[in-house]
Amino acid sequence: MLSNFKIIFAIVLLLFTCSIVNAQYSRFTSPQVYVNNQPLANPWAGGLNSASYQPIDLNNDGMKDLFVLEKQSESTYPGVYKIRTFINTGSTGVASFTYDPNYEQYFPQDMVSFCMLIDYDGDGREDIFTYNRNVSGIDVYRNDFNTMGVLHFTLEYSGLNTCYINQSGPCVAGSLYVLPVNQPALYDINGDGDLDVLTFQITANFIEYHENMAKEWYNRTDTIVLQQRKKEWGHISLSGMSNVANLGLPRLANNNSNETFTDRHSGSCMVAFDSDGDGMADILNGDLLGNNLLFLHNGGTQPGVNDSIDWQDINYPTNGGSVNYVTFINANFLDADNDGKTDMLISSCTESQAENFNNNLLYINTGTNQQPDFQFFKSRFLTDGMIDAGTASMPVFYDIDGDGKQDLIVGNKGYYITQGGPSHYEGALAYYKNTTSGACPEFTQMSTDFASIQQYGLTNVYPAFGDLDGDGDIDMLLGNENGTFHYFINNAGAGNFPQYSLAPNGFNFQNLDVGSNSTPQLVDVDNDGLLDIVSGELFGKISYFRNTGTVTSPSFTLQNNNWGGINVTNSANTFYGYSVPHLFMDNGQWKMVVGSEGGRLFLYDNISGNLNGTFNLVSNTAYGVNEPPRAAPAMADLNNDGAAEIIVGEQAGGLAFYSSSLNGCPLSVADYTPRVTISVSPNPVNNEASVQLINYTSGKVSAALLDITGRRIFKKNISNNHFSFSASALNNGMYLLVINTETGSFTKKIIVQHGY
């Protein structure tokens, strides 16, 4: 979104000096970020932790792009989930998606819990099915892609109705009941051309079948008229102990289990598909009770009439690398590599306590759409092209190496560790060196555990930098989830690359405490030549600790734990605020921008000369930033034009880049990155394969061939747009050719088949 404001910032190291101009901030995706000497494809896409992936044609070019609803949040109120949109820039057999935030605005902004894009009215355009929290049901938005080629959605059904079976009389009309943690399956169960619904009962023991009667009653397939047909579809119940099914009714325990029949919890993510081309709806189910993906085979013979689950695979896909995912699996179907076959993408259906790094598992369909054969392909679909700090990224600018360029340090809640004991988060700092040499800012990842912070087992780590001991080098104060501060001394000396170690008595430094989730900034608030502490906290307020010590021996005294009367909590919907302050000087006057859980930035003035008073709220939508949840701002002038860029962290672990002025730098990576097409001939290949790169002109390029396990077969640098390689020594099977250029990475699926 673009907004008009009068304030921009130019931060000069620790002086926080800014000037006022008219400014209009835009979200940029073009600044490049390098990891392992390769450019990330979508560095500023914001991360994906608990995402629902839905194919949809966003730009009307006939190719299926991606809509993503990122659900990771500790709150579930409308607007706190993040929408992301990716344009399909691949070609046949090539997977490539480019983040483009411009399409996000066209979707309903208050979606929560689940979102599925399915064409219910037969016009070829995906409509929206999402959770209605007011009635615990489903809202349906019709896709009215207009003649101008712009996405538009109209609310067609608010709280989708059904008619429930009534044993003593006519069915009873009411809203189709769906819990927010029970994702229903939308599928043409009886094969009559309209969309039916499978959903869980309140206890989630049994699956209900709600048939769309539009065809039967009105001879139409473009509307939804539901009637409950079966309370216990498929002749199964789901276990209350694990993600398995009890086959047969009445409800029977597994022969080899000690199960007792108690009411089942709520928490299942279900999707229907036809696995064997027999016209019967099979089921995939993810669950809070297991790290497995459950497959239920429908052995019936008449769709919608005698559906009956006759066998199950509790480790699906058994022949393609069983899913083992912490936790609450969500299976998504899409054609990831544009080969015309539907692939499977595994993500999480929950908002927290789930894998947050290797968390988007792509299974390529090596079979057909009628009889899919899903084979594990990679564990970081899309996220391998993003800045990814696990959960809750929190960036800070600081010139670490003293080269005059503002580097980027990214704190986080942590990486979710699932090995070596109970699952838990471990916080760490990532270091991105500012390697800018032209008009566009550029960063290179140097470390994912800067200052070896991960060893301390902390969470929600947030650094502040400043010379606290008067020795001329920059020390570090680390905030964390406990609300305390840890003091790390720089032992390197002035002018050297920092070497941090925990100071004597540095843990829980001076027993300072803001309660929870301290996010400190070191800044001389009262202009006495000593660095003070300004810190955010969990509940949205700001604390101010004045330095009453000396230049070489700081001593901090709490002045106010609700400084300026600031509170950025959306109290109508949540208890949490997750305030992250950034105090800066603007024409000799203090101003402060504060990040919030709701994703907006709050801007305050009337601070100078009023340190004990109430500050003035200038805007609660400052700079047009909206990065829910847990927007954490960092500000610095990266191109020396007098205007500060803003990089924003968020719950999903990625970063967003905002600027009012990046002359010579395109807004989007798509503005200057041509679609590189990879041509492989022959494919399938027997002996020798020839590779041609189309739309690639010049620059460094490398090629790597990976097998289905991710093992690298070869890697070579390429001097032009064509090369060849021998497949004679390779085993039959699927391989991935990865082309890395200066503007992005592109992939091509290759089949080795000897003797054809």
pLDDT in tens, 231-250: 999 999 998 889 999 998 65
As beta bridge partners, residue 198 has 185, 209
According to the model, what pLDDT value does residue 506 have? 96
From CA 723, how far away is CA 716, in angstroms rounded? 10
What whole-number percentage of the chain has pLDDT above 70?
90
User: pLDDT tens digit string along 441-467?
Assistant: 999 999 999 999 999 999 999 999 999
Least-confidence region, from 434-448, 480-494, 714-728 = 714-728
User: pLDDT tens digit string along 17-29?
Assistant: 443 334 689 999 9
Q: Which residue type is seen at 480?
A: N
Residue 33 falls in which region: left (phi positive, over 0), alpha (psi -120 to 50) or beta: beta
* Closest residue by Cα to residue 669 from 48, 92, 27: 27
Q: Which two tokens stand for residue 652?
A: 């999903």
Note whether 478 and 507 are within 8 A (CB).
no
pLDDT at 204 over 90: no
From CA 291, how far away is CA 253, in angstroms rounded? 21
Q: Which domains does the chain have, with CATH numbers?
A: 48-250+263-385 (2.115.10), 391-583 (no CATH), 677-752 (2.60.40.1930)
pLDDT at 14 over 50: no
User: pLDDT tens digit string along 165-187?
Assistant: 998 999 999 999 998 889 999 99
Task: Tell me the pLDDT of the chain averaged across its residues.
Answer: 90
Q: What is the mean pLDDT of residues 215-227?
A: 96
- Running DSSP on this structure, what letter comes out for residue 614? P
To which H or E segment does residue 214 belong?
A: helix 214-218
Q: What is the mean pLDDT of residues 83-96?
A: 92
User: pLDDT tens digit string along 249-306?
Assistant: 654 443 444 444 455 667 899 999 999 999 999 999 999 899 999 999 999 999 999 9
The residue that leads in pLDDT, 713 or 580, is 580
User: pLDDT tens digit string along 23-73?
Assistant: 689 999 999 999 999 999 999 999 999 999 999 999 888 899 999 999 876
Q: What is the mean pLDDT of residues 111-117?
A: 93
Sign of CA dihedral 713, 377, 104, 146: positive
Name the burial class of residue 449, with classes exposed (0-12), middle (13-18) and buried (19+) by CB atoms within 10 angstroms of its CB.
middle
As beta bridge partners, residue 208 has 199
Note whether 73 and 351 are within 8 A (CB).
yes
The residue that leads in pLDDT, 701 or 76, is 701
According to the model, what pLDDT value does residue 148 have? 55
Q: Which two tokens stand for residue 333?
A: 């179907």
With DSSP H G I counted as helix, E B as strand and the rest as coil, what are the percentages for the chain, rounded to 5? 5, 40, 55
* Closest residue by Cα to residue 480 from 454, 502, 459, 506: 459
Sign of CA dihedral 375, 378, 383, 386: negative
Q: Which two tokens stand for residue 77?
A: 């109120």
From CA 612, how far away is CA 305, in angstroms rounded? 73
User: pLDDT tens digit string along 504-545?
Assistant: 999 999 999 999 999 999 999 999 999 999 999 999 999 999
According to the model, what pLDDT value does residue 676 have? 67
Q: Which residue type is seen at 244?
A: V
* Closest residue by Cα to residue 743 from 58, 98, 101, 45: 98
Confidence of residue 648 (pLDDT cuts 50, 70, 90): very high
What whole-number percentage of the chain has pLDDT above 90?
72
According to the model, what pLDDT value does residue 671 have? 58
To which H or E segment does residue 218 belong?
A: helix 214-218
Q: What is the mean pLDDT of residues 552-569?
A: 98
According to the model, what pLDDT value does residue 256 have? 41
From CA 2, how far away is CA 517, in angstroms rounded? 31
Q: Which residue type is seen at 506?
A: G
Confidence of residue 697 (pLDDT cuts 50, 70, 90): low
From CA 80, how far away is CA 76, in angstroms rounded? 7
Least-confidence region, from 320-334, 337-351, 506-520, 738-752 = 738-752
Residue 35 half-sphere exposure toward CB, CA atoms < 13 A: 16
pLDDT at 561 over 70: yes
Q: Which residue has the tokens 């021998």?
A: 726
Helix and strand numbers, DSSP H then E, in the chain: 1, 58
Q: What is the mean pLDDT of residues 562-585?
A: 95
According to the model, what pLDDT value does residue 614 have? 98
DSSP string, 321-390: -----SS-EEEEEE-TTSSSS-EEEEEE-SSSSS--SS-BEEEEE-S-SSS--EEEEESBTTGGGS---S
The residue that leads in pLDDT, 662 or 217, is 217
Note whether 587 and 18 are within 8 A (CB).
yes
According to the model, what pLDDT value does residue 264 have? 61
According to the model, what pLDDT value does residue 193 have? 95
Residue 712 falls in which region: left (phi positive, over 0), alpha (psi -120 to 50) or beta: beta
According to the model, what pLDDT value does residue 19 have? 39
Q: Which residue has the tokens 């609803």?
A: 69
According to the model, what pLDDT value does residue 756 have? 65
